[in-house]
Structure 1
Amino acid sequence: MSTTFVLVPGAWQGGWVWQPVAERLRAAGHTAITITSPGLAGGDVRSGLHLSDAVEHLIAEIEKRDLRDVVLVAHSWGGYPVTGAAHRVAGRLSGIVLFNAMVPRKGVSVADESDLMGPQLRAAIEATPDGTIPVEPGYLPLLLPESGEELRSFFADLMVPMPGGYFTEALDVADISGLSVPMHYLLSDNDQVLIRPGAEFAARLGLTPQPVGRGSRW
């Protein structure tokens, strides 16, 4: 049976990061669509973007294709646009998969999730003329802890500054636990970049994380 997967990446990344997974899904007979949120493609204008722009973009991508029986898949920060969109397209969904993903609470931004990281994120935004958060050099070894320099260099060339509003703005919707679709939380044992432990995010939805070992999209 063919399934339609809509793959939403994390911070600083575009749909390119999901391409290896998308190719495997297509080879298995499924439909796979990778999402690049506004501001996260090379050459995009990033100033003045809001979290709602990422949510609306995801909704528009689903609706303009008239997608049905969709499995939304989120990685890391992708949990924010997926949560915001899921309520609006609930009738088109057949499932939600969260891979090392944030599970937002109503009214709580990414920056609000951590007393330690929050001030650092806001300071980084204030330090840039376009209100973005650059990719820190020390981030890639955490994102790709077991990868070589070649893959890290590939990521470094494609990752772009993150629109600040994506980290400082919150959703005005409840979490997705009330939606009547199957949900799964996948957690790799080498994740080092989530702002809170993945098990804590999964618990917000009443889920037990499903371990995927040293899971990767590559």
Structure 2
Amino acid sequence: MPTQPSTYLLIPGAWHGGWSWWPVAKRLRAAGHRALAVTLPGLADGDDRAGLRLRDAVDHLVDEVQRRDLTEVTLVGHSWAGYPMTAAAHRLPGRISSMVYYNAQVPGPGGSTADDNPPEVAAFLRDLIESTPDRSIPPTVEFVRQTFMQDVAEDAQRLLAELLTPHPGAYFLDALDAPDTAALDLPARYILGEHDLALPRPGSEFAARLGLEPVMVPGTHEGMLTHPDAVADAILAA
């Protein structure tokens, strides 16, 4: 566990805002650290999602770090956030000290989030995106029940579905305009929920892109909400 105060920038995954990291952020602050939970463009209630590209999410992260003049930052990304987090780290030399991927996709060279899925799923995503006026993917209660948060009561599943926002489609389709994660040469950790069903391939495969074995914690894809103590402890141990 770190002996000096650290700065953690907590980055939400697809459909989520910074609120999804608040329980973990509270615990990191209680341990004496600085924890900032950001919401990326298009993922706040009422945001205009039309025309947003993956580079807009990356630019937002870079601007956040530079505007606050943050240094020695540990970037912590959930799920899809592994993509913009990795690209932002490449643009912030000297400011990032380590990377933590939590139930996250780790980018491969030149790939997109859609590319991490089987071809039939990637095709379905593209068709769904093209069918909505602003080219976004709306969340559904059924998706939350089956994929995101299987370990809680139905009321909690409905609440999460109401908090989620449609996800800009290009965030899934755009290829990462950055070298792959290995080129960062930064310490990294991969944390994986024991019952995560949301990742498009096993979390161990994403961890292997970092040359790591996953650190297992309790919970599903939404463990930062249902098991914040365990997730915070795993982040602090990175």
TM-score (norm: length of structure 1): 0.96
Per-residue deviation, 1:189: 1.2
Q: Secondary structure of the residue that 1:94 maps to in structure 2? A: strand
In structure 1, the residue matched to 2:47 is 44
CA deviation vs aligned residue, 1:192-211 (integer Å, no higher than 9, x gap): 00011110011111111111
In structure 1, the residue matched to 2:14 is 11
**1:134 counterpart letter in structure 2:** P
Per-residue deviation, 1:134: 0.9
Q: Hey, what's the Cα distance between the residues in 2 that align with 1:32 and 1:185? A: 19
**2:38 counterpart letter in structure 1:** I
Per-residue deviation, 1:153: 2.1
Asked if the contact 1:106/1:172 (under 8 Å) is kept, the reply is: no
CA deviation vs aligned residue, 1:37-73 (integer Å, no higher than 9, x gap): 1000001000000000000000100110000110000
Alignment of 1:172-187 (within 5 A): 172-187=177-192
Q: Hey, what's the Cα distance between the residues in 2 that align with 1:91 and 1:139? A: 39
Per-residue deviation, 1:90: 3.0
Q: Indicate yes or no: 2:32 matched with 1:29.
A: yes
Q: Secondary structure of the residue that 2:16 maps to in structure 1? A: coil
Q: Hey, what's the Cα distance between the residues in 2 that align with 1:214 and 1:162? A: 23
**1:201 counterpart letter in structure 2:** F
Between Structure 1 and Structure 2, the one with more helix by share is 2
Aligned counterpart for 1:217 among listed residues 206, 221, 224 = 224
Q: Secondary structure of the residue that 2:156 maps to in structure 1? A: helix
Q: Secondary structure of the residue that 1:128 maps to in structure 2? A: coil
Q: Hey, what's the Cα distance between the residues in 2 that align with 1:170 and 1:36? A: 21
CA deviation vs aligned residue, 1:121-157 (integer Å, no higher than 9, x gap): 1111111111111113321112111011232222112
Q: Hey, what's the Cα distance between the residues in 2 that align with 1:166 and 1:128? A: 15
Alignment of 1:28-107 (within 5 A): 28-107=31-110
In structure 2, the residue matched to 1:119 is 123
**2:135 counterpart letter in structure 1:** G
* Gaps in structure 2 of 5+ consecutive residues: 226-238
Q: Hey, what's the Cα distance between the residues in 2 that align with 1:181 and 1:131? A: 35
Q: Hey, what's the Cα distance between the residues in 2 that align with 1:112 and 1:96? A: 22
In structure 2, the residue matched to 1:156 is 161
Q: Hey, what's the Cα distance between the residues in 1 that align with 2:77 and 2:40? A: 12
Per-residue deviation, 1:109: 1.1
Q: Indicate yes or no: 2:136 matched with 1:132.
A: yes
Compare 33-42 and 203-212 and name the one that shifted more: 203-212
**2:156 counterpart letter in structure 1:** L
Aligned counterpart for 1:199 among listed residues 196, 199, 204 = 204
